Amino acid sequence: MSLSNIEILNKFLKDHPEIEVFEVMLPDINGKLRGKWIERNNISKVFEGGLKLPLTAIAFDVWGRDPDSWVYQSGDEDGVCIADIRTLTTVPWLKRPTAQIMMSLNDFDGVPCQYDVRNILQKIMTRFDKLGLTAMPAFEMEFSLFEQHNDEKGQPVHSQKSSSGIDAGQTYGLECMQDMSEFMHGVRDASKAQKLPIDTLITEAAPSQYEINLYHQPDALVASDQALMLQRTIKGVAKQLDLRASFMAKPFADLAGNGMHMHCSLLDKDGNNAFNNDTDEGNDLLRHAIAGCLATLNDCMLIFAPHLNSYRRFTEGSHVPMTATWGYENRTVALRVPAGSHKAMRIEHRVAGADANPYLVSTAIIAGMLYGIENKLAAPEAITGNAYTQMPASLPNTWLKSIEHFKQSSFIAEYFGEEFQRVFTATKEQELAVFNKQMTTLEYETYL
């Protein structure tokens, strides 16, 4: 017999008498965490529906401001926070004993908030359930690790030093890992305490760039929770060591950017890989899923590249896809089908930057697969060789273009919901307007 949420909470409190405060957290549409600190003796009220926050708390722009064009339409009403007991854990990198728990937002009638990113993903998972299929995602997280201070030009300072004067990250370099062993072991220890199933830790192509991968999960919501909590863990451990971890998509124009690749397979109702037909090519279901992801790439580009800086990552020859293409064991395409065991047949989606919201990335990829399967779309021929030289760039290459694709998309309206489409569009248009008003140093140096 399974324990109730209150019973699990009480056991947690008994096992952790040192905990003083709980961070109750809501991921907003930008993947930033909003919420409150709750005293230990009041935490049970959260599980009884006693915690309320404005519904707009999850619709802020990247600076934490309401979207002016939308916020007052509903009167800026409150919602009820729904705690997910699966995310209850300690926060080991903080000085004072602290715990955390993830929440979703409902309205007062118990209806899930339509622009809560956890609710949107859950809705897509339910549509897959009706087909007898389950998505199994796994995230790969790239990030930069800098010193806390900036240089005299205001740019970040590498934590990884080069004696040669060449900006290179020593990809897969074990000595670089050893140099950062205190940080890496700190992340390992904190991940273990938070039950985050990390797999591999490596150095990447740029200086001070690393990648940490998570094991796949048969629940896309759990996988997305773990992805966001891993980012939080990496930042927390870095700060503890007087370093700064960043998931900025492109910190330096001439160096590799940070991506968020997601691998995803499908399981049938018996737990078998639904893409597997005991061949290296996979079955028709795989190709339907690929076709759906390709067909919806432009509409979802604002999710995969949600910020102004996101588009600086898309440069030819940088292992970042420029076209809606796919192929087997090919890292120049948008969708790669990795080689290996037929039982692990899957799609690696290579478009999203590390600055994207993991919940929305999961939803976009899974919804794209669903769209292709429901409509039995046919995938084009797989690309062999260098996709950069075979296909002209076709993905939206500016923030404005992506906003327009997203805003007008019938796919987004159907699979994400019209309310989310309106809110996310309003937020991104507001952010774009702020950047458009800024005068850069280069402009002054060039034109003054």
Please list the rounded mean pLDDT of every run of 10 residues in the chain (448 residues): 82 95 96 95 89 89 85 75 95 95 91 94 95 96 91 83 54 67 90 92 79 94 97 95 95 91 96 94 96 98 97 86 94 93 95 98 98 96 90 90 97 97 96 94 91
What is the Cα–Cα distance from 360 to 31, expressed in whole angstroms?
9
Does one domain contain both 152 and 55?
A: no
Please report whether residue 308 resides in a domain. Answer: yes
Residue 85 is predicted with a pLDDT of 94
Question: Has residue 76 been placed in a domain?
Answer: yes
Radius of gyration of the chain (CA): 22
Domain boundary among 112, 140, 164: 112
**In a shared domain, residues 219 and 266:** yes
B/e letters for 180-197, b = 16+ CB within 10 Å, e = fewer, are: beebbebbbebbeebebb
Which residue in 314, 412, 298, 308 sits closest to 363, CA to CA? 412
Count the helices and strands in the chain (H runs, E runs): 14, 14
- Do 215 and 74 reside in the same domain of the chain? no
β-pairing, 21-27 vs 98-106, is: parallel
Residue 118 belongs to a domain: no
Task: Output the pTM of the full model.
Answer: 0.94
CB count, 10 Å around CB of 16? 14
β-pair type (134-150, 52-54): unpaired
378 sits in which H/E element: none
Query: What is d(CA 276, CA 265) in angstroms, rounded to the nearest whole number?
Result: 10
Going by C-alpha positions, the residue among 234, 235, 228 that lies closest to residue 118 is: 228
CA distance 332 to 351: 11
Q: Are residues 141 and 227 in the same domain?
A: yes
Q: Do 212 and 83 fall within a single domain?
A: no
Q: Token pair for residue 64?
A: 């934490």
Q: Does a structural domain hold residue 185?
A: yes
- Tell me: do 135 and 73 sit in the same domain: no
* Those residues with Cβ within 8 angstroms of residue 81's Cβ, 6 or more apart along the chain or in another chain: 24, 26, 46, 51, 52, 53, 103, 104, 105
10 falls within a domain: no
| Residue finishing a domain among 48, 77, 112 | 112
Residue 5 lies in a domain: no
Q: Distance between CA 259 and CA 141 in Å, rounded? A: 7
Instruction: Give CA–CA dist 404/185, Å, rounded.
Output: 44
Residues 431, 361 share a domain: yes
The residue segments making up the domain with residue 66 are: 20-112
- Bridge-partner residues for 373, per DSSP? none
Compute the distance between CA of residue 72 and CA of residue 356 in angstroms, rounded to an integer: 27
Is 61 within the bounds of a domain? yes
Judge residue 312's burial from the number of C-beta atoms within 10 Å of its C-beta, 0-12 exposed, 13-18 middle, 19 or more buried. Answer: middle
The token pair at 397 is 């290459």
Same domain membership, residue 147 and residue 70: no
Residues 101 and 133 in one domain: no
Residues 278 and 151 in one domain: yes
Order of strands across the sheet with 33-39? 33-39, 21-27, 98-106, 78-90, 52-54
How remote is the C-alpha of 413 from its chain's centroid? 21
Report the pLDDT value the prediction gives residue 166, as an integer from 0 to 100: 47
Residues 347 and 403 in one domain: yes
Reduced to 3 states (helix: H, G, I; strand: E, B; else coil), residue 72 is helix
180 occurs within a structural domain? yes
| Cα separation, 205 vs 224, whole angstroms | 25
Total domains in the fold of the chain? 2
- Whether the CA torsion 84, 85, 86, 89 is positive or negative: it is positive
